[in-house]
Structure formats: structure tokens, C-alpha cells
Chains A and B, each alone.
Chain A
Amino acid sequence: MASINAGVSNIPEDLFLNCDPGPYVCELAPGRPGDNGAAQIVRDRISAIGLEGLRARAQAAENDLMSLGVTFTVYSDATAIDRILPFDCIPRIITAAEWRKLETGVQQRVAAINAFLHDIYHDQRILKDGIVPAELVLGNANYRPEMEGFPVRFGTYVHICGIDIIRDQHGDFRVLEDNARTPSGVSYVVENRHLMRRAFPDLLAGMNLMPVDDYGRRLREALTEIAPEGVEDPQVVLLSPGIFNSAYFEHVFLAREMGVPLVEGADLIVEDDRVFMKTTAGLRAVHSIYRRLGDDFLDPTVFRPESLLGVPGLIRAWRKGNVALANAVGTGVADDKAVYAYMPRIIKYYLDQDPILANVDTNICREAAGLAYTLDNLHELVTKPVGESGGYGITVGPRATADELAACRATISANPSNWISQPVIGLSVCPTLTDTGIRPRHLDLRPFAVTGRSTWVLPGGLSRVALKEGSLIVNSSQGGGSKDTWVLAEETRR
């Protein structure tokens, strides 16, 4: 064997020969304007490592994640299994120019979402002007009447926002979904980069990338900004449901990066409408809470009485202005999939701007025309329930069997207002290491925006990749993995 290959051993095999993206945009295509050759360099370096080397290093990297406990927990039948989010070692590259557009687009979107939330919890102009149907907002399960007339600092309701973005076959970025409640995944952005540094230093050598490790500092800064006025050196905490939560690792990560205590509901107590944490030296005041608990679980005296995760009296203390909550209560109405459809109009209404990032065209089944179009074209559309997340309940028309389509039709007809539909988008692809070599796989991007006084966007974001051939569903609960996301700095050296 060795002798046969000896003559060509210094010219590595091109591992990307069987990685034709077909009709889709490739996120690692060589020669993209502004990439200064970065994609080609990455391709060459990967080929030089070779398939065996890649596999060995990828395996070592995954072992590393398991050992470090960079895991999420999957519960089934009373057993708890720690899983890693599968990591693909081939990075995705975003050019500086692409990033400028994504960044400003995300900032614009967050500004519009905050303006919208402020409006619907105050004057409700947008409802009165008939831009968004009042029933859609006021009848929404995530609309919180408790929030009406309640001021939040800087008008910021959504302090942490994750916006799911895809790239279509024309190369345009489009927003697929807003996550304005408690978006997760940011820890993987940072951990993936650390992992790459450890396992693939040769791939990163000389690459001038925008850094990702500033997130904790920015988040803490925002949480400090929103603390009640007049508090010097406010105490910030992260409120987690605890070690059994599937995202506990991320809570740990964020608490550590911010350098603040990770507390559980039982660590906090409200006295005289002020929040304290229980320490070895007695009670200690808390001023700003990054909560990773859903609205329903925050305060058993206001929401679910049976929940033990929250803190009795917390909402009252918050309404008295004695503590800040991030995100604010009641933001779920803004990331509803039905409200999403109106987002371009919402942006126009409040900011008088055209959306920098377009939506995916959306048919609203609560409207007669949208329902009729959806039912007539079911086989060509992706249908989604409006209240779900995590990729549940989605039917991809062109991939569905006749039985599945019939079931889908019945479900939608029974409760049309719970559904939207969208054309199937040919999500962009990125070369990905698979059992059969390097192959194209579809992916999306979730940038994270942090907003206190102003909005900062973490360069890049979480690239989630559908590991199954042809699959368009990237969620970790549905077999998705992640990639390191490189944003090229303006001046990329070779």
C-alpha cells in the first residue's frame, strides 16, 4: 500500500470532490467576494489533514466535550443521559460584509421587537391602527396583562434575543424565527471555538477572526445597566431551574463567564418586596436577574401555583422596581410564529425602515386566504404550529407521505389559527464530515443579541447543521449538530 501511494503522498487528495452543493448556496464556497481566499485555505488545510486525521481529531474533540460535561441532558423513561451536541469540525465562514448586514439586520429586528412590546403593553397603537390584528396579540397565551403600563429601563424587554436565520438559494439571508424568551445555544458558540483552538490549531493559523469570548462581559454589562436606578454595584445573578434542566451546562457557562452566582429559586427570598439570596453570611440583596425560567415558573403567587422552581413574591418585587428581570415577562408574544408574519410591517411601523433581513414568506392560516392557499399547496409547503419550538410538529410537504399530508390537513383544518405555512426554502449547505466522507449538509444560523441601553450582537452565532442527508431540520432535539462559525475580520491575512 505504502509504495503505491508513495509517489503522490505529498499531494493530498481533495476531500471536497464529492461535496457538490447542487442547487444550494455553499457556505464554504471558494472565491466568495471578501473572503480573501479563506475558504480555499480551509479546504486545502482540511484535505491536508486527510479523512483519517479528521475522524481521529473529531472523535477526540467529542470525547473532550463529554469529559468537560459540555452536554445537554435527555430524559426518557426515568433515565437521564448526558449527550453532547454533535460537533462538526469543518467551520462555516461569514465574510465581513455579510456580517455587517446580519449584524445591522439583527439590531433592527431587536429594536422593532422592543418597540412592539412597549406599544402593546402601553398604548397599543399598532393594534388600533390595524397593522397587527388585536386578537392575535391580546388573545395570545403569552400576552401578560400583568405587564400593562409597566415601565422597563431603556424600553428594553428582550435583553437576550436569538434570531434564527437561513440563507436561501439566491444567497439572501432570511429570518426564520425570532427567539425572544430564553433562547439557548450561545455557550456552544464559545465552546466550539475553544474546541477548535485545541483540536485544530493548524486550521485556525493566521486566520483573522472576530472574537467570540466577549459574550459574558457584554451580558453582565447589560444586566448591570438595567438594574434599578440608584443601586451602586448591583448584584447580578443567573436564575436556573437547576441541575436537572437540559440546558444546565449553559447556565453554568454563563454564570461563570459573567462571574455571578448561579442561583435556583430556593436560593432567593423576597422580603418587603426586595429580593435576597441566602448566603453563609445571611441574606444579601439581589438587583438584576438573568432568568432562564419560563414566565409561568417565575412566581407561584402570580403564575403556576404548583411550581417550586420560582420565587414567591418575585413579580411584586419586580413591579415595585426593586429588581430587574431579563428578559422581561411577556416577551413570548413577540416571538410567536403568527406575529412573526407581521414583523416586516412591524419594523416599518415603528422604525420607518425596510427590513434589512427579509422574512421567509409566510401564510397565516388564521386568515382565510392563507388557509386556502396552505391547504391547496400542502405538498409544497412547510407547515408549523405557531406555539411550538424545537422543531416539533413540523411537516415538510415535499418530503411527506400521502398519509402524513392527510393527517396534517386534518390537524390544520381543526384549528387553523394554530398554524402557519411557508414555502420550502433551499437552505444553504456547508461541507460536513460524514460516514461517507465530506458531504454538503443544510444549516442555519442563530446570532445572539444582547440589549441593555443599546444592542450588541455576538459575531457569528450558533450554526446548527442537519446531520442527516437532505434533512432541513437542524434542531438538536431532531438530530442536529453544530459548527464553529467564523466571522472574518475586515483585514484577513493569509
Chain B
Amino acid sequence: MTQTTPLLSRYAESLFWMARYMERLENLARLIDVTQTYESPGLESEAWDSLVRIHADEEHLTQSQGMVDPDAVKRYYMLDRSNPNSIVSSIEAARMNARTLRPLISTEMWKHLNDFHRDLLRLTEQDLDGDKLSRLCSRLKETVQAHTGITEGTLFRDQGWHFYEMGRLIERADQTTRLLDIKFHRLTPKGSEEQRQEERTQWGAMLRAVAGYHAFRRIAPVEFAPKDVVGFMLADPCFPRSILLCLSQTEWHLTRLRTTYGLRGTRGPLEQIEDMRAALLDRSAEQIISISLHDFLDGMQRDLITLASEIGDAFFRDWRPTALANQSQSQVTAQP
């Protein structure tokens, strides 16, 4: 059977976003976990501050939680429904999209996501206490990984799968920029040997948070420098969470959509990927750091937003009538 079934634009959009929200949830769990790892006695709030800063959430956090201390930050990112990027908001949004997609996705995907949703609705502040938080983060991460595995094994690999994968990859690349940025905020490039050792420990923790530590160890020099980690996260061709690999895979999916399904409109997003790849490869990590890693990451985040909206314009094709158009804003990319 070579005949291809049509894919509603609305479904394509929902697949893209369901994957994004799940990926976002997993990465936020990773971010929170690594932030807690950075916590050193007396400096707890500094670690949590950078989490807030990279999301540009200072104002809303104060408004919503009334204070800014580590516990408020944890509540804000784990449990606060008024925070569109919190864990509970992400699962809510993912499930809403999954509900839309029930005619399309496998029963097993739906059931797992539905159970995950019910599970997260029962979370309370007590679940964030002390060492429970880290275990909770592990559980969140593993549950999303189970989702990913169920999807891998059950989602029909037609057009829809490509949209799902692209959503996941773009979100993942975006989150990698954030993870790097959170570390960058606390980067002290010059210092004593003791400080450099402490630095390496923290970079190691970050690499563990993205499950890249051992791979990095294999390919990096023994006495690694920050530029090696940055280069690895930005442009390693094999690391699953590197921006370069996410972009290459997105490119592959777009190409399949064009060649296998004859979809037009891939040119815009493909050119955008070309530009981003050039930005990643034209300069060394060292150069990027010496200019400003933070600005570079900001630029990457903006480029990813552009890429996502190019894909949206090409395929989601304004399926909503104008009266409903505002609702499309409800699926938001986190602010750069």
C-alpha cells in the first residue's frame, strides 16, 4: 500500500506540540535536578536564581509566589499552574494535545500519558521536600522516557510521526541552550586551581544531567576546559542533545516530508536550518565564549522560534477560522 492518508493540519500541530511539551517536561526535570546539585551551602538561592533568570520569569514568579526563595522557585516550576512552563502545566498541555490526537495515536501512548497526568495532578508541596525532589525529577524523566519508548514502538510512522519528532527535536535543542546558559551564568573563567576543580565538578554535573558525561569523557581531553563542554553541547555530531544533531535530524524529517509525502513549504524551514548550522560551525566554541556565550544562546533560541514558526506556517496552515485564532497563542514557546 503506497497510498498515503491525509493528515489534518490540526493533528500535525498537536503532534508537534504534544512532543514539545513532553520534551519540555523532561528537560525541566533535568534543569531542576542539576540546579539542586549546584546548591552549595550558603549559596542556595544563587543556584535557583539562575534557573529563574534563564526563563526570564523573575517578575511573574514574584507575582505568583509572593516571594523568591528556593522553595518558591521549586513550587513555581513544579506545581504552579499559572506558570505556562511548569511541570504541571506541561503535562496538562501535553494531555490536551494527546486528547485531540486520540483518533491518531496508539492507545498505549494515550493510556500512558493519561496515567502520567493523573499521577502529576496528585503532586503536593511535600513531594518537593529535601531529597524527594531529586527522586521526583528522576521519576519525571523516566516517565517521559517511557513515553518516548512507547511512541517509538507504537506510533505509526507516517507523516504524523515526522511532526512529532520535529517538535521533540526543536524543543530539545531549545532546552540545551537553556541548560548551557544556566551554567554560564555561574561561570568564572579565571581562578585558582581549586576554583577550576570546582568548575570541572559543576560542568561534570551538568553533563550528567543531560546524560552526556561518559560520552564526553571518551572524546574530550582529560584536562577539559569549558570550551570543550560548550563545543560538545552545541555541535557534537553524535550527542543526542547537541543542537547540531537536533537540527540535522529535523532537516532529515523535513526532507522526508518533501520527498515521501510531496509536501511543499519545506524550503523556508530548511534554509533556516542551513543558517543555524552555519552559525554553529563557523566559529569555534572558544570564539563563541570569548564574544558572549549568553548572547549566542539567546540568538539560537530566537532562531529556533523562527524555525518552529516556519514549520507552522508551512503545514499547520491557519486551520483555525479568525475568530479562534487567538487560541493558537496558547501553545507558547518559552521566552528566550
Interface residues of A (CB under 8 A from B): 66-69, 243, 248-249, 252, 255-256, 261-264, 266-267, 277-282, 284, 308
Inter-chain residue pair count (beta carbon < 8 A): 75
- Contact at A279–B111, with CB atoms within 8 Å? no
Instruction: Identify which of B7, B9, B99, B263 contacts A243 (C-beta below 8 A).
Output: B99
Docked-complex contact B10 and A267, CB < 8 angstroms: yes
Flag whether B320 is at the interface (Cβ < 8 A): yes
Which residues 87-108 in B have Cβ within 8 Å of A in the complex? 96, 99-100, 102-103, 107
Q: Which residues does chain B contribute within 8 Å of A279, judged by CB atoms?
A: 6-9
Q: Which residues of B contact A277 (CB under 8 A)?
A: 6, 8
* Cross-chain contact A281 with B262 (CB below 8 angstroms): yes
A262 surroundings in chain B (CB, below 8 A): 103
Query: Given A261-B103, A308-B323, are A267 and B8 neighbors across the interface (CB < 8 Å)?
Result: yes
Kindly list chain B residues whose C-beta atoms are within 8 Å of the C-beta of A267: 8-10, 319
Given contacts A261-B8, A261-B103, A263-B8, 19 further A-B contacts (CB under 8 A): A67-B111, A68-B110, A69-B102, A243-B99, A252-B103, A255-B103, A261-B6, A266-B320, A266-B321, A267-B319, A279-B8, A280-B7, A280-B159, A280-B163, A280-B261, A280-B263, A280-B317, A281-B264, A282-B317
CA distance A300 to B6 in the complex (A): 27
Known: A67-B114, A261-B6, A281-B262. A248 touches B319 (CB 8 A): no
Is the Cβ of A256 less than 8 Å from the Cβ of B261?
Answer: no
| Nearest opposing residue in chain A for B257, CB measure | A280
B7, B103, B107, B163 — most chain A CB neighbours (10 Å): B103
B115 at the interface (CB under 8 A from A): yes
Establish whether residues B10 and A69, one from each chain, have CB atoms under 8 Å apart when the complex forms: no
Q: Is the CB of B321 within 8 A of A308?
A: yes
Residues of A with C-beta under 8 A to B111: 67-69
* Pair B319/A278 contact, Cβ less than 8 Å: yes
Q: Are A264 and B114 neighbours in the complex by a CB distance under 8 Å?
A: no
Contact in complex: B6, A248 (CB < 8 Å)? no
Q: Which residues of A contact B257 (CB under 8 A)?
A: 280
- Which 7 pairs show the lowest CB-CB distances between chains A and B? A279-B6, A262-B103, A252-B102, A255-B103, A280-B315, A278-B319, A278-B9
Distance in Å from the Cβ of A302 to the closest Cβ of chain B?
17
Does B12 reach chain A (CB closer than 8 Å)?
yes
**B96: contacting residue among A243, A256, A263, CB under 8 A:** A243
Shortest distance from the beta carbon of B102 to any chain A beta carbon, whole Å: 4
- Kindly list chain B residues whose C-beta atoms are within 8 Å of the C-beta of A261: 6, 8, 11, 103
Nearest-Cβ distance from residue A112 to partner chain B, whole angstroms: 34
Judged by DSSP, the binding face of A is: mixed
B291 at the interface (CB under 8 A from A): no
Q: Say if the beta carbon of B324 comes within 8 Å of chain A.
A: yes
Instruction: Please indicate the chain B residues that have their CB under 8 angstroms from the CB of A280 in the complex.
Output: 6-9, 12, 159, 163, 257, 261, 263, 315-317
B185 CB to nearest chain A CB (Å): 40
Known: A266-B319, A308-B323. A284 touches B6 (CB 8 A): yes
Which of chain B's residues have a CB closer than 8 A to the CB of A66?
118
The closest CB in chain B to the CB of A244 belongs to: B99
Contact bitstring B162-192, A, C-beta under 8 A = 1, else 0: 0100000000000000000000000000000
CB distance from A338 to the nearest CB of B (A): 37
B265 to chain A, nearest CB (A): 9
- Complex CA gap A443/B96 in Å reads 35
Q: How long is the Cα–Cα vector from A264 to B8 in the complex, in angstroms?
A: 10
**Cβ A67 vs Cβ B115 within 8 A:** yes
Distance of A166 from chain B, by nearest CB (Å): 34
A281 CB to nearest B CB, Å: 6
Give 22 A-B contacts (CB < 8 Å), ordered by A residue.
A67-B114, A243-B96, A243-B100, A249-B102, A256-B102, A261-B6, A261-B8, A261-B103, A262-B103, A266-B320, A267-B8, A267-B9, A277-B8, A280-B6, A280-B8, A280-B159, A280-B316, A281-B6, A281-B7, A282-B317, A308-B323, A308-B324
